[in-house]
Amino acid sequence: MPTDSAPRPPASEHDGAPLPRAAVPAPPTTGDRVDAPPLAIVVTPLRVVRVVGVLLRRWRWRILGVLTLLGVCLYLAIPWLLGPIVTAQPVVRGALVQSVVASGRIATPHRVNIGSQITGTVASIPVGEGQAVAAGQVLITLEDSELRASVEQAEAAMAQAAARLRQIVEVTLPVARENLSQAQSNLLNAQQQYARAESLRSGGFETQAQLDNARRTLNIAQAQVRAAQAQVAGNVPGGTDYVAAEAALRQARASLLVALSRLGYTQIRALEAGTLIARNVERGGVVQPNQVLMVLSPVGQVEIVLQIDEKNLGLIAVGQGAVASADAYPDRRFAAELAYINPSVDPDRAAVEVKLRVLAPPDYLRQDMTVSVDISVAERADALVLPISAVHDAAGAAPWVLRIEDGRARRRAVTIGLRGPQRVEILDGLREGDLVVPSSVAIVDGGRVRPMAAR
């Protein structure tokens, strides 16, 4: 076995010079006895760095692929193991108003179709479409020369009838009374003459012819009295002549009124204040009765006419309040009140017509303007509410939700009460503070979830 006193090989010319970084002793010659250490490789840190660099350059794409695959697997495994992150909807308490939303139009309780009552030619139109007019204001003027002549003719006839009546009162009746007085005097004289002639005839002093003349004179006097009485009776108020004269005067007055009325028809006026919303006539045109020339929207009460789906008929009632806004002014809202519900349902549209009274119409409202209306049909001051987006089959007969329980989504049936535009009332199935998965998230019953509170 080797000893420490073994002879060393002779020194060469390189004694004292540094050896290479990794030197391996030369194998001993045959017959020599050498005690050598086991085979070993001496590695320096710099060489390790160089080897690692070579390996990285050679295997970099494979290493990168492996790391990417590990990252993808980790990304997919976490949601599978822990569930996706969802924005949970909490069940809270608050006020809830159930409303019926519909779209309608602005209208007045009635509109006035303006037309002509006679046939005529349009002379002038002093107003324009869209103009506000006052009650009694002239809207259309027709040519009136012929009707003015008719009025003058009627006035003349009336004056003639009035003069005839005045003549009876002032002339004919006094003359008739004087004639009656004279006739009565003549009758008295004839009676006396006849009595005298009869007395003389009985005494033999008068002939029969003289008596007959006296009787004839008496008869004439009596006839004259009767004629004078009839003349007086006919001319006093209530007599035939007087009544006829009065009738003629009334007829003339009526003819004058008719002529004046027809003349007034040439001035077509507004019966009440309002706004002209349509005009179908021009100057020089010939108009006829029953022809609509203009349409007037009266000033005053304004209504909203809506078509409500018949499924909401049981929710609405006269007197309910509503809030409306015109589509042209969505930021301006005004109050309204349900005033009328049509007793019939339109079978073609499955809708019922309702009318709302606008309590204080804003000045920007126009006829036939489109408006959106929210009719408040019920209200709860302290209700258990949940966003309607978290309820599955909310409009069906068996609504349900996915309640988060111990990190898993569990299906729970719920009972819905009032329904608002964005929230619903929960009567049974949930408690305040429960977290519910939105219906838009694809989670199965029993699936894992990681809830995140909704903002």
The model's pLDDT over 273-326, given as tens digits with 9 standing for 90+, comes to 888 888 999 999 999 998 999 988 887 778 899 999 888 888 889 998 899 999
Q: 52: pLDDT confidence band, cut at 50, 70 and 90?
A: low
The mean pLDDT value for 102-112 works out to: 84
pTM: 0.50
Any idea which of 5-9, 284-288, 395-399, 434-438 has the lowest mean pLDDT? 5-9
Residue 79 has pLDDT above 60, yes or no: no
CATH of domain 86-98+381-453: 2.40.420.20
DSSP one-letter code for 346: B
Residue 101 has pLDDT above 80, yes or no: yes
Q: Which residue did the predictor score with more confidence, 139 or 69?
A: 139
- DSSP secondary structure letters along 8-40: PPPP-TTTTSPPPSS--PPPPPTT-----PPP-
| Residue 175, SS3 per DSSP | helix
The mean pLDDT value for 85-103 works out to: 84
Q: Give pLDDT, residue 354.
A: 92
Any idea which of 213-217, 436-440, 442-446 has the lowest mean pLDDT? 442-446
Q: Give pLDDT, residue 450.
A: 77
Residue 77 has pLDDT above 60, yes or no: no
The mean pLDDT value for 208-221 works out to: 82
Q: Give pLDDT, residue 254.
A: 94
Alpha carbon separation from 404 to 77, 90, 436, 443 (Å, rounded): 21, 10, 6, 11
| Residue 132, SS3 per DSSP | strand
Q: Which residue did the predictor score with more confidence, 16 or 293?
A: 293
Residue 269 bridge partners (DSSP): 138
- DSSP secondary structure letters along 206-256: S-HHHHHHHHHHHHHHHHHHHHHHHHHHHHSTTSHHHHHHHHHHHHHHHHH
The mean pLDDT value for 55-61 works out to: 68
Q: Give pLDDT, residue 56.
A: 66
pLDDT tens track for 130-169: 888 999 999 999 999 999 999 999 999 999 999 998 988 8
Residue 255 has pLDDT above 60, yes or no: yes
- The Cα–Cα gap between 311 and 446 comes to 36
Q: Give pLDDT, residue 263.
A: 92
Q: Which residue did the predictor score with more confidence, 56 or 29?
A: 56
Q: Give pLDDT, residue 382.
A: 83
Percent of the chain whose predicted confidence (pLDDT) is above 70: 82
Any idea which of 172-176, 385-389, 423-427, 443-447 has the lowest mean pLDDT? 443-447
* Rg, C-alpha atoms of the chain: 61
Using CA of residue 303, residue 304, residue 310, residue 315, what is the dihedral sign? Answer: negative
The mean pLDDT value for 379-383 works out to: 83
Average pLDDT, the chain: 81
Any idea which of 23-37, 274-288, 303-317, 430-444 has the lowest mean pLDDT? 23-37
Residue 184 has pLDDT above 50, yes or no: yes
Q: Give pLDDT, residue 81.
A: 54
Asked if 265 contacts 157 with a C-beta cutoff of 8 angstroms, the reply is no
Which fold would CATH assign to domain 112-143+266-297? OB fold (Dihydrolipoamide Acetyltransferase, E2P) (2.40.50)
Q: Which residue did the predictor score with more confidence, 1 or 231?
A: 231
Residue 20 has pLDDT above 50, yes or no: no
**Closest listed residue to residue 354, CA positions, set 301, 302, 308, 315:** 308
| Residue 183, SS3 per DSSP | helix
The mean pLDDT value for 102-110 works out to: 85
Percent of the chain whose predicted confidence (pLDDT) is above 90: 25
Residue 13 has pLDDT above 70, yes or no: no
Max CA distance (Å), the chain: 238
Q: 176: pLDDT confidence band, cut at 50, 70 and 90?
A: confident
Alpha carbon separation from 271 to 110, 111, 296, 300 (Å, rounded): 13, 12, 9, 14
- Angle at CA 434, nearest 5°, toward 99 and 410? 105
- Angle at CA 137, nearest 5°, toward 131 and 138? 95
The mean pLDDT value for 359-364 works out to: 86
Instruction: Copy the structure tokens of residue 146.
Output: 């012929």
First CA to last CA distance, the chain = 87
The mean pLDDT value for 43-54 works out to: 68
Q: Give pLDDT, residue 78.
A: 55
- The Cα–Cα gap between 86 and 348 comes to 44
Q: 40: pLDDT confidence band, cut at 50, 70 and 90?
A: very low
Q: Give pLDDT, residue 32.
A: 44
Asked if 152 contacts 277 with a C-beta cutoff of 8 angstroms, the reply is no
